[in-house]
């Protein structure tokens, strides 16, 4: 299992964040620095990004999953970069109504080596402000 923890650590380094392991899942989370009002009230609690991998097999492939909040105008650049890198976009939707500015949540996934996924996703996040 030490290999999993080492891999998880390297995964976190790609995002410049501390990874966490729980129940065989390596997760990296961070808050997005967005100024958002929901129903006229400032919100900070649900404005995050999260990437994770699990189900690592003997040849190094894993189930890779991610989710991020983003401003509506960020969605095209971010999803285009993911798609160009072969990462599947599984959902784009809102969590909250009456937001200012409009925010959406993008979910994405792949089955591949976790570090390859992490590099692709980090490239997509690099196009955001």
- Cα distances (Å, whole numbers) of residue 110 to 15, 29, 45: 17, 18, 27
Residue 2, pLDDT score: 57
User: Which residues are CB-neighbours of 68 under 8 A, at least 6 positions away?
Assistant: 32, 48, 49, 50, 78, 105, 106, 125
Residue 14, pLDDT score: 98
- Can you give the pLDDT of all 129 residues of the chain as single tens digits? 459 999 999 999 999 999 999 999 999 999 999 999 999 999 988 899 999 999 999 999 999 999 999 999 999 999 999 999 999 999 999 999 999 999 999 999 999 999 999 999 999 999 986
């Amino acid at each position: 299992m030490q290999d999993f923890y080492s891999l998880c650590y390297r995964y976190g380094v790609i995002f410049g964040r501390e990874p966490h392991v729980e129940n065989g899942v390596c997760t990296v989370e961070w808050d997005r620095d967005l100024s958002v009002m929901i129903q006229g009230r400032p919100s900070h609690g649900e404005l995050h990004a999260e990437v994770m991998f699990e189900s690592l097999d003997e040849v190094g492939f894993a189930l890779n999953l991610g989710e991020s909040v983003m401003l509506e105008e960020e969605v095209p650049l971010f999803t285009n970069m993911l798609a160009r890198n072969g990462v599947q976009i599984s959902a784009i939707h809102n969590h909250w109504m009456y937001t200012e500015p409009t925010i959406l949540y993008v979910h994405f996934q792949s089955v591949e080596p976790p570090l390859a996924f992490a590099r692709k996703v980090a490239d997509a996040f690099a196009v955001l402000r």
